Chain A
Amino acid sequence: MYFNPYTDQDFLGFFGVFFSRLFLFVTGQLPFESLVSDEVQIMVLTCVAATGAMVGTFLILRRMIMLANALSHTILLGIVIAFLLCDSLTLPILMVAALITGIATTFLTEYLNRVIKLQEDASIGLIFSIFFAFGILLLTLFSRNVHIGTELIMGNVDALQRGDIKIVFSVFGINALLFLLLYYGFKITTFDPNLARAFGFSPLLFNYLLMVQTSAAAVGAFRAVGVLMVMAFFVLPPLTARLLTNRLPTLIGLSALIGAMASAVGVAISRNILTVWGVGLSTAGIVVIVLGIFYLCAILFRSIDFSVRARYYSLSKPSLKKDEKNCSIG
């Protein structure tokens, strides 16, 4: 074991150390190789969260969350098959796997829904459970060990290596670039598909593109948080941000920020629990819980805001009524 500056730090001290070391890293005084596991975790989770937030915003606005959920399950099959065929999990292979499973899932679900006329929720459920069962079956058959499978599903933040930063960062970069380039297209196909069609943007094409991006994000994240908890990174930050803003750019930015914050706080809490009680908890799980708490806070904030506004309205209502009366008399 090499030296870890975060051992025996309390919650606030953690951030003190983190930010001073981050400053050193950004200014180039701290080489890449000397990043310790906590920093790796934070960086990976932040990237995952930011990617998830971007993708998730559009998923929520397009009501495609359950399809994304299906995707996060089917991606397991993609990863397993990719692993069996190529015996390694490098970035290009993973991306190809993500691409294929993303398209296959979306296509099959659409096929069941349109051609065979199964209702939408059932077709989603059917496809992903078959894929997932098949994935698990393959996994247990060939690895002879459910443990790897568990790690795939639940994620293991502690097993992250420095190389993973590059993977998640490139996934984040690709996704961010796509959204920047095609921002207008995404926006218009999300809010007004008919107008988009008139302008020559195919909503279907963007649907598929979004699903591919989702699966890329899920693949980037599976090592850290597992294929199931990715969903939390997709759903919770945009939902939280949605309570606080009505504008799309703010929504994306805010949800990415919330996701990043939650991952940093989650890692810190996990470390803190480890030092205080000596219990190693699943960091990914904690991050998800932190996300949930953030959401709860946003809800509370909103309801307070609402109650204030409601009081304001109730004060101003009588005068309104008076006006109406005057009008009717006049």
Chain B
Amino acid sequence: MCLAAAMVGVLVFVRKRSLLGEALSHATYPGVTFAIILTGFFSLESALPFLILVGAFLSALAGFWIIDRLEKKIKVASDAALGAVLSLFFGIGVTIASCAQHSYAHLYRQMQTYLYGQAATMTDIHILIYGSLALAVLLFILLFYRHILALSFDPQFAHTNGSISRFLESVIFLIIVLSLVIGVRCVGVILMSAMLIAPAAAARQFTNRLSTLFLLAGFFGSLSAFLGLYGSFELSNRLGGHYSLPTGPAIVLVSGGIALFALFFAPRRGLVSRYVRKTKFRGVCVQENLLKVLWRLSQKEQNHIGFKEISQYLGYSSLYLRWLLHRLCRQQALIKWGKAYQLTPQGVKKGARIVRLHRLWEVYLVNSLGLKVERVHKSAEEMEHILTPELERKLTELLDNPRQDPHDQPIPTQDEALHVF
């Protein structure tokens, strides 16, 4: 059930209309309450689940229609339209519910379950209905995957492909409403939107492909449903019946937790990993800058370089600098003689390569792009860490293997510079 919701969530997510789900799930409430009242009046207890589905479906449709109308005819901003429909429908629902509050207490309680969701009280017939609906949603996505892909990312292209897109557009919308209606029973009207958003947002952190996105979101959705259900059940037992944890919020909390975790720790797009990558790159830059200084010093006054001289050129604290030097020693680019340092042949080559990249880029900027000589140093300072061997080769070819940079300093030849990669 949450599986279907999560998959549909992807649909909404990639179209940047996540909050539509929020508005529509609120819009189902009057339908639900009305259906419950109807069954209460005509004592159609057996048809209740079915009627509720129909009611919720119809009122969500009405809500969508009104939103659409507001946006297109009256040119209301979309967020205002969503907010208006959301609150208006919820108000209607509450009014209908209050109608039953005093006269039909048991019906009222039933309505409350739809606010927060009660998965625990579901019976076989629920499972049958909702299971088949979820299956329908799944089948639809499988069958029309290509069209959905086109429609989501390039609507214009999809429209040129003919009438199927319009048909599909409405079917997708129907599916969205359907999955909302399914999920409302489980997590409740208010929190339903979370089930649309959270799994999709989490899955987006791990992949760039739509198909994987669907799968992952479905997985996260069902995982959070399972964990939430199990957790609330188990905890309620542990706490000895005094407290009963509502299942809906529990599920939402779990899926929200997964989403947050993914946002922070996902391998490629997560905040932490991005931070790690940034720091690593900065470390490489620092090391290369140090190598450059060492190389220049060793060119000037031969082998032994004192610590003081190095620290004159770099603004790092002495402790940090010592640690950097130590690391270079361990990479066998540097040898420590007592208090002085000497670059190994390998270290010389590494340093030469960086200086070469720096000066090549300066030549390129001045010769090919026509920049002023005194302004190119800063850009080269950054590019020297980024240029790849392939780019280096291209630059060399383009510039006809220059010997001197614009500041009249020699460029180390390719033989002097080692290709690290």
Contacts and interface: CB of A to CB of B under 8 A. Distances in A.
Contacts of A126: 194, 197-198, 201, 256, 259-260
A304 to B, nearest CB: 14
B83 A281 contact: no
A146 to B, nearest CB: 7
A16 interface: no
Contacts of B256: 126, 129-130, 133
A134 B191 CA distance: 11
Interface stretch (A21-29, A185-193, A284-292, A318-326): A284-292
A129 B18 contact: no
Given A146-B116, A235-B83, A129 B16 contact: no
B68 to A, nearest CB: 14
Interface residues of A, number: 60
Contacts of A228: 26, 87, 90, 190
Secondary structure at the A interface, as helix, strand, loop or mixed, is helix
B90 to A, nearest CB: 5
A141 B238 CA distance: 13
B263 to A, nearest CB: 5
A63 B244 CA distance: 39
A66 B198 CA distance: 17
Given A126-B201, A137-B245, A140-B244, A280 B102 contact: yes
Contacts of B87: 228-236, 288
Interface string B94-135: 111111011100000000100110000000000000000000
Interface of A: 60, 63-66, 68-69, 73, 112, 115-119, 121-122, 124-126, 129-130, 132-134, 136-137, 140-141, 144, 146, 150, 153-154, 226, 228-236, 239, 243, 279-282, 284-289, 291-292, 295, 299, 302
Given A126-B198, A137-B253, A232-B90, 19 more contacts: A64-B79, A65-B80, A66-B83, A73-B190, A122-B200, A125-B193, A129-B252, A129-B256, A132-B249, A137-B246, A150-B112, A153-B115, A154-B97, A280-B101, A281-B98, A286-B95, A288-B88, A288-B94, A302-B74
24 contacts: A66-B22, A121-B18, A124-B19, A125-B19, A125-B21, A125-B193, A129-B252, A133-B249, A136-B191, A137-B253, A140-B243, A141-B243, A228-B26, A229-B90, A232-B88, A232-B91, A279-B99, A280-B98, A281-B98, A281-B99, A284-B91, A285-B93, A285-B94, A289-B95
The list of the 5 closest CB pairs from A to B, nearest first, reads A288-B91, A129-B194, A285-B95, A282-B98, A232-B87
